[in-house]
Structure 1
Amino acid sequence: MKTADGPFRLAEPVLSSDRPRWAWVLMLCACALPLLTSLGLRDTWHTMENVTLASSTETFLAQHGWHDIPQRDDAWVVPTWRGKPRLNKPPLAVWLNLMAWGDLTPDQTNPRELMLRARYVSVALGLLLIASVYWLGLSVGNIHTGLLAAFFAGTTLLVQRQARLASYDIHLTAFVTFAVAAAWWAIGPHRPDRPFKVWRYLLGWVLCGVGLGAAIMSKGPLAYPLLLLPAILCIALHRHDWLRNAGGLLIGLAVATALAFPWYNYILTTFPDTASGLSHEYAAARPEFQPVWYYVGLLGLIWPWTVLFFGAIFQPWGLATGSRRRQMLYAWGWMALIFIFFSIPAAKQQRYILPIIPAIGLMFGAFWVDHQRITDAGEKDEKLDWLRIPHWVMLAGAPLVVMGMILGYDWFIQNGHTDMAAFGKVQLPLIIFWVLLCSGITYLGAKAHWRNEHLRAGYLNAAWAIVFTSMILHAYSIGHDQLHPVYNEAVRFKQVVNDSPVRFLHMTDRHDELNEEFVFFSMRIIDSIEMDQLQDFMSDTNYPAKMPRYVMVLDNNMAADKLTAAGLTEVLVFNQDYHENEPMKTHLWQYKP
């Protein structure tokens, strides 16, 4: 095909012979290595993973019936958190966890097994995200665009971290990226000569709707703009059949809404106050305002591609002759729109920006392939060639820095520098082999890049990232805080209460009544009561007459006299959490009828 002249020339079509059927499988297997490395060795410490696991576990226990939790076959319909329906988050993440736990019962499992299986779900969704980026690369480029984009997106620090946590964010990002990939495939950017096929058009937009519907059922209506922004951008840049593609977008939106409507309609009619709660959920308000430029400071999260990011972001605007600007503008525009969208609200956290990674990965893939095209045309991009030096120097030095941190583990701990002891102790021969392997890949990659063998250098970059990331994730997983101290506290708690009912006595207006890790590790649903409800709990006839009753309280000084007067005895003191200055010291009181 002859391409058009000018800055918006089209990319050549991808021939079927240029698409080895096994390439994407090998790519996914390679990206899975760091994701699966030592996945279950580190306990859950992150708030959203804790909440997701705790809510999933509560629903799991209610499905089976456990201790004082009555069995409910329909518990899965509306998952609970702290015994109350969790209406501000859709249930798909919980449903997928329940599927992963389908062969388990509460008496034959433990929190760490539940955590590991839930993390396997996140890894699977991380691989879906990576595969979707590959699909996007094929839509705007060729096999190398897709593979490199997928490798780059899949090895960023942010994706590797979030895809190893059983949290909502990887669910949202994976399903939205799949929806975008299906939409772009239906539109067919850079394929102006591709004949229109009704089956492709309908299949693409229906798959888009399925992905969007799953994203909505993972984290709510936020998924709509995350799909609309890149879809409308692609329709606008493609400039062909925009009316037909706009109709396809409406099909996708209709399918997604049809999938999500039944659950939202159910909770809105069953729980009348849901609407006001959801409006607060999406008000994006936090006590600490984050400035508009907050996400600019998170460039480190796209490591190890941070240096190259500065080349890729300017590539569409400072091109040498022979580059394809529009091909890069798809990814560049998508990235810019997502960045602006998340920068406007005051609510900002690192995990919120995860949906930008597919766009950045696609931009990297197009950037790398573009440099190979420039070289093949006998030209040079001298303004950006210098970025190769700091990039490969960084890759050469990073393993040495990590090796120093691993070997210095004992010294850091002994001298009180626990913040530097992020990586646990790894056997010295393994560390040496790892450093030599990383160094060898760095040498080959830098050599290929210096010879302008950009594609070879790109794949060696990906190999380095996989080897490097696998080690640091293993070392991180066996660090000094590998085991959460609350786990043992929860074990002590369970040994005392056994299968007896427990309530938390609410004395003051505080938000930290029950720590998320403790709730998950204890595998209980612990409802809160106030002092005037204490007598009703102790005399509740739903429990055997001689069964002990237990009450937890944080504000023991305020409650001790009243609990003693009511006939309760303090039997245990434990910590629900280990804050630096204020551990959640909790007192457990027993009432024997």
Structure 2
Amino acid sequence: MLNRTASENREVFRAPGRDSKTGFFVLLILLATAAMSLSGIGRSLPLESHETYYARAATEMMARNDYVVPHFNGQPRLQKPPLSYWLIIAGYRLFAGGSGSFLNEFLVRLPEALAGIFLVVGCMLLGAKVLRSSAGGLLTGVIALTTRGFITYTHSGRPEMLHACFSTWAIVGFITLFEMSRERTTAAQLQVDAESAETPATGYGAGRFFLIGVLTWLFMCGALLAKGPFLPVFILLGLITGMLIQHDWRNLLRVVRPVTGVVLVLLLFGSWVYLVFQRMDVAEYWEKEMFSRMGGSGEWWWQPLTFYYPRKTPLLILPWLVLIPGAVILPWRRPVGGENSGLTVERAELQLMFWMILVPMFILSFSRGGNWYYMLPVLGPVSVLLAGELLRLGDLASRGTEKLRELLTFLTGLHGVLFIILSVLVIYALWGTPRGTEISTAGKTTWSLIALVGVFWGGMAVVKKDRLRPAMFLLVAAVYFAELAAVGSGVAWQVDCRAADRAFAERIRADLPAELKVVGSRCEVARFVHYAGRQIESVRPRDLADRLSAEPDLLVLTRTDVAERGLITGEVVMQQETPCDDGVVLLRSVRTVEVIQPDQGKKSD
């Protein structure tokens, strides 16, 4: 049962005598989050092919003045709901004035970067609630901020971070309802008058339950409109599973609020679906929205159980992997020193965190499509469990035996030495290896400064190893993890390749008259459509000859190696200069098209 009163609930971010310090660290984390999220999301990092879907769809949405059915390359794009497009357009109207200026990289990624900031705020609140301390909230925020998933998808125009942000705040709402319900049940068990829902003993009347329930389901609707129903529904199933396992039947409906949820989902998400039905054939809508994204015509979403997500989800939280074993069993462990130790966690809520991670992972393990970032919406619960394990380690350091303290002191010093070595190697990799040439100078300078800060804190951990400071250990670890997550996430890599694609597409935009029609074959056209500012239809090789017969003036965009091998030949109009292997060439007066048959060992499309 909960043993925290309503007043303690409201003071969850405060520690006696340390209010100003807690506020300072909250501000510091928010500044670090803003710097991490907003830096490098502009022109220095060109859009990758998946991002161009959202950039171009938002552009076509404005051009068509149709804010219901998104289009990409002239075709309906209903694989994702429209919230990300709407927010991109809102940023365009706000910051570019809607004056016809180009929808640039910063505007495409701004909603995701801002969502990352709000996600960290939600993680801090969730951690403070579940771990019963401001330290727990701060650590949860730091862990979320320094994960590979966070750093990667705050620098992407895809709606993953938006999806995760709304899901995290919905989880905060459900946990708040869970706490309120349990406290109300506790009051009833203490034979408090049944009318006391409005008394100071609990302070939770029907009105407050209703308000928080509405806010919670508004966040759920935001997640649905960001990327669809799958993960939010799976997370909700995890919450229900956890409560049923705890035999908390009495509070289940009070926490889940199904009537409120159904009404709001029908009103918000359902309204968009209804408007789509009014504009498109229903069968076509469901084919595009459901079946096309589930592996293709004739294939079902389910497959025999695989272990893709248990194996790949750790990529989300790189490089905090060392804490996973302890975090998994944390909800069922007794705190160090018994119930009165410094780590006063409520096991019921920790177990709910566990089930809200495990159930989505289990269900997704039956899906054909495997992508580790699908688990990003549970970054909040994952960060809470990892932060709880870190608090437990700190508790061991302060309350354990002398030998254990000596061991942790030694490990802290060793950690500092290894961190110095690693930071130096990172600097060398950035400036002294061929792969480092793929990163912009600004990016290399930024990560080198982070590495130098890491060298300093590593040295501090070594110098002060005679008196173990858990806070210092955690700070060193945070810098270390941030560095590894950022450099290892792939955010900074392949910038030159993307820049070459952008430059080529901008040449098409500037030099080709709009009336000339361009099609693509044997190449990925999505990465060029947005920057070229025109439709580039993708044509299968087997159909290209017929198209050329009907439209001999077509310009054909294809890979350079395809042209060099004589599969598609013609007069070169433009050729891409790129350091990458998949350069493209624009041809006209295409004379020959050779389609390699499947029995020749190569794909025909």
AA partner of residue 329 (structure 1): Q
Deviation at 1:410, TM superposition (A): 6.1
Distance 1:439 1:504, change over 3 A: closer
Please give the per-residue CA displacement for 1:463-489, whole angstroms capped at 9, x wherever unaligned. Answer: 5555x3698499964876275211221
1:291, CA displacement in angstroms? Answer: 4.3
Which residue identity is paired with 1:338? P
Question: Does structure 1 retain, via aligned residues, the 8 Å contact 2:147–2:318?
Answer: yes
Contact 1:201 1:248 (C-alpha < 8 Å) held by counterparts: no
The residue correspondences of 1:109-188 to structure 2 (distance < 5 A) are 109-110=101-102, 114-140=104-130, 141-188=132-179
Aligned pairs for 1:489-528 within 5 A? 489-504=504-519, 512=522, 514-527=524-537
3-state SS of 2:40 partner: coil
| Structure 1 CA distance for aligned equivalents of residues 428 and 377 of structure 2 | 36
Q: CA deviation at 1:274?
A: 1.1
1:264 equivalent to 2:255? Answer no
TM-superposed CA distance for 1:165, in Å, is 0.6
Is the Cα contact below 8 Å between 1:56 and 1:97 reproduced in 2?
Answer: yes
- Measured after TM superposition, the shift of residue 131 of structure 1 is 1.4
The 2-side partners of 1:241 and 1:21 are apart by: 37
Contact 2:92–2:98 (CA<8 Å) still a contact in 1? no
SS of structure 2 residue aligned to 1:481 = helix
- Distance in 2 of aligned mates of 1:106 and 1:502: 27
Q: What per-residue deviation string (whole Å, max 9, x for no partner) do you get for residues 215-235 of structure 1?
A: 111111214424413432564
State whether residues 548 and 554 of structure 2, in contact with CA within 8 Å, keep that contact through their aligned partners in structure 1: no
Where 1:587 maps in the other structure, the secondary structure is strand
Point out where structure 2 has 5 or more consecutive residues left out of the alignment: 188-201, 340-344, 591-605
Contact 2:573–2:588 (8 Å) recurs in 1: yes
Q: What is aligned with 2:198? A: none
3-state SS of 2:330 partner: helix
Check 1:500–1:433 CA distance in 2 against 1; reply closer, same or farther (3 A cut): closer
Q: Distance in 2 between matches of 1:245 and 1:287?
A: 32
Match of 1:279 in 2: 290
Give 1:451 shift.
Answer: 5.5
Structure 2 residue 375 is the aligned partner of structure 1 residue 353: yes
Residue matched to 1:322 = 338
Distance in 2, Cα, partners of 1:427 & 1:170: 22
**Closer, same or farther in 2 for the Cα pair 1:483/1:289, shift >3 Å?**
farther
| Corresponding position of 1:248 | 257
Look up the match of 1:369. Answer: 391
Offset of 1:146 from its aligned partner?
1.5
Q: CA deviation at 1:206?
A: 0.9
Give yes or no for contact 1:173–1:355 (8 Å, CA) kept in 2: yes
1: CA distance, partners of 2:163 / 2:526: 22
Contact 2:148 2:485 in 1 (8 A): no
Structure 1 residue 101 and structure 2 residue 92: aligned?
Answer: yes
1:333 to 334, 355, 363: 355
* 1:79 aligned to which of 65, 70, 76: 70
* Post-superposition CA distance 1:319-369 (Å, at most 9, x none): 444264445323333332233233332321232222232221011222233
Deviates more, 1:93-102 or 1:23-32: 23-32
Q: 1:51 to 1:297 in 2, by over 3 A?
A: same
- The range that moved more, 170-179 or 317-326, is 317-326
Q: Deviations over 1:535-581 (max 9, x none)?
A: 9989xxxxxxxxxx8633548878879xxxxxxxx57143599873x
TM-score, scaled to structure 2: 0.75
Q: Deviations over 1:191-238 (max 9, x none)?
A: 556442333312221111111111111111214424413432564449
TM-align CA RMSD: 4.4
Contact 2:302 2:367 (C-alpha < 8 Å) held by counterparts: no
> Which amino acid in 2 is paired with 1:158?
G
Identity of aligned residues (%): 17
Cα distance in structure 1, aligned partners of 2:445 and 2:534:
44
Residues 558, 47 of structure 1: alpha-carbon distance in 2 compared, 3 angstrom cutoff: closer
TM-aligned CA distance change 1:379 to 1:165, over 3 Å: same
- Aligned residue runs from structure 1 range 21-40, under 5 A: 24-40=26-42
Residue 462 in structure 1 maps to residue 452 in structure 2 = no
Cα distance in 2 for partners of 1:446, 1:148 equals 22
Q: Structure 1 residue 519: deviation in Å? A: 0.8
> CA–CA distance in 1 between the matches of 2:499 and 2:302?
28
Evaluate the alpha carbon distance shift between residue 241 and residue 360 of structure 1 in structure 2; reply closer, same or farther with a 3 A threshold: same
For residue 160 of structure 1, what is the amino acid of its counterpart? I
Question: Offset at 1:398?
Answer: 4.6
Q: Distance between the aligned counterparts of 2:431 and 2:475, measured in 1?
A: 36
> Structure 2: how far apart are the matches of 1:318 and 1:309?
14
State the alpha-carbon separation in 2 of the partners of residues 498 and 255 from structure 1: 48
Residue identity in the other structure for 2:224? I
Q: Which residue of 2 aligns with 1:439?
A: 455
User: 1:543 maps to what in 2?
Assistant: none
- In structure 2, the CA distance between the partners of 1:392 and 1:495, relative to structure 1 (3 Å rule), is farther
Question: Counterpart in 2 of 1:51?
Answer: 53
Of the candidates 220, 240, 263, which is equivalent to residue 232 of structure 1? 240
Q: Using the TM superposition, give the Cα deviation of residue 450 of structure 1 relative to its aligned residue in structure 2, in angstroms.
A: 8.2
Kept in 2, the 8 Å contact 1:180–1:230? The answer is no
Figure out how many residues of one structure are paired with residues of the other and give that number. Answer: 539
